[in-house]
Amino acid sequence: MEQERWTDITIPGLDNKYQVSTMGQIKRLAYDVVSQRNGAEYIMHKNEMIVKLQNQKYQMVMLMVNGKQKAFYVHRLVAQAFIPNPDNLPEVNHINEDKYDNRVENLEWCTHSYNMNYGTRMDRVRQTQIESGNWQDYSGFSDEEKNEFRKKQMKEWREKNKEHTKEWREKNKERLAASRKKWCENNKEKAKIMRRKTYENNRAYYLDYQKKYDEKHYQKKLARQQMEEERQSKKQPVMIKKKRFLEYDENGTFIREWNSVKEIAEYYGVTGCCIRLNIDGTHKFVKQNGLKRQFKKEIYFTEKK
């Protein structure tokens, strides 16, 4: 019996180092966790550990990728690590048809068609359908009759599961949108042809829908314009509070108007403090170059433009 071999799992973003074996086992390698508490640094050692597998349709393992748990099929991890795939085949087949036997000698890369028709799968599917009452014998049917019968079956199934399908689509809306977007990006030309065919097959419907859509949004636009006009007509003007500074000579004769204390101080070559002391009445005059000046602060309101 061949000795079990281990190799690293090379997946971008893995938080810890994992290895996969030729016997279908996954283990997390030992590592240290550094943390700080009360200004001191602590190092906690994590031992090597065999990761527990989950038995579902296939065996799966949960690995930490970029801080989040992500599920991986064990048989694909084994195949990617130990079996060359020069033809870039998309699927991995279990040779003995045991989905939980992930030994490297029991796996092979294959096409989807090969995987679906391998071994006793079709016999098992047929037996399951017979037991559930869904099996239909097509012997003696022409191709057209087969297609018609399948369409009828699909229509009945859709009617039967209409509510369930609606709930599922609503629940998985974001996932479906992302999947559809990804498919369109990878199949741009095909998606373009399909959209064109869909439009041509339903041209009358789309034209009628566009007409109703345009009319509906035109009415909405008119309603918004009317509401805006009513709001503007009822709107009160917005008043802004402003201030100005009035300059007088020693006899109380008005000379000029200033916008700020800084302008006055720069013009007369004095400090802003002198001007403010005159405004609040502490100093009677501002004296500079033989001139005596008085300043008054005035608050007024103006309409916002």
Q: What is the pLDDT of residue 104?
A: 93
How many residues comprise the chain? 305
Q: What is the pLDDT of residue 109?
A: 95
The CA–CA distances, whole Å, from 180 to 170, 183, 186, 192 equal 15, 5, 10, 13
Least Cα distance to 92 among 72, 74, 76, 105 occurs for: 76
Least Cα distance to 97 among 135, 123, 127 occurs for: 123
Q: What is the pLDDT of residue 124?
A: 81
Domain spans in the chain, listed from the N-terminal domain onward = 6-129, 178-216, 239-303
Q: What is the pLDDT of residue 22?
A: 93
Which CATH architecture is the domain 6-129 placed in? Alpha-Beta Complex (3.90)
What residue type is assigned to position 135 of the chain?
Answer: W
pLDDT for 177 beyond 60: yes
Mean pLDDT over 182-198 rounds to 83
In a 3-state reduction of DSSP, which class is residue 43? strand
150 vs 118, higher pLDDT: 118
Which residue's entry shows tokens 């939980």? Answer: 100
> Which tokens go with 140?
């003696």
pLDDT for 84 beyond 90: yes
Question: Rounded to whole angstroms, how far apart are CA atoms 122 and 97?
Answer: 12
The three-point CA angle 222-227-228 to 5° equals: 95
Which residue's entry shows tokens 């559809």? Answer: 180
Which residue's entry shows tokens 């690293």? Answer: 8
Question: Rounded to whole angstroms, how far apart are CA atoms 286 and 292?
Answer: 6
pLDDT, averaged across the chain: 85
pLDDT for 72 beyond 60: yes
Mean pLDDT over 8-29 rounds to 87
Least Cα distance to 295 among 243, 247, 244 occurs for: 247
In percent, the amount of the chain with pLDDT more than 70 equals: 95
107 — pLDDT class (breaks 50, 70, 90):
very high
pLDDT for 235 beyond 80: no
With residues binned 3-state (H G I as helix, E B as strand, rest as coil), the percentages for the chain, rounded to 5, are 45, 25, 30
Identify each DSSP E strand in 23-174 by its residue range: 26-28, 31-37, 40-46, 49-50, 54-55, 59-65, 68-73, 91-94, 107-110
Could you tell me how far CA 200 lies from the centroid of its own chain? 33
Stretch among 57-71, 104-118, 285-299 having the lowest mean pLDDT: 285-299
pLDDT for 141 beyond 80: no
53 — pLDDT class (breaks 50, 70, 90):
very high
The CA–CA distances, whole Å, from 275 to 249, 252, 254, 257 equal 14, 16, 16, 14
* The domain over range 239-303 is classified in CATH as 2.40.400.10: no
In a 3-state reduction of DSSP, which class is residue 53? coil
What residue type is assigned to position 60 of the chain?
Answer: M
Question: Rounded to whole angstroms, how far apart are CA atoms 251 and 295?
Answer: 12
Q: What is the pLDDT of residue 12?
A: 83
Could you tell me how far CA 79 lies from the centroid of its own chain? 32
Q: What is the pLDDT of residue 305?
A: 67
Question: Rounded to whole angstroms, how far apart are CA atoms 121 and 133?
Answer: 18
> Which tokens go with 9?
């799992």
Mean pLDDT over 55-65 rounds to 90
Largest CA distance in the chain: 124
Mean pLDDT over 10-23 rounds to 85
Mean pLDDT over 175-201 rounds to 84
pTM: 0.48
Give the list of residues 6+ apart from residue 119 with CB closer than 8 angstroms, or none. 97
114 — pLDDT class (breaks 50, 70, 90):
very high
pLDDT for 74 beyond 70: yes
Burial class of residue 184, CB neighbours in 10 A (0-12, 13-18, 19+): middle
State the Rg of the chain over Cα.
41
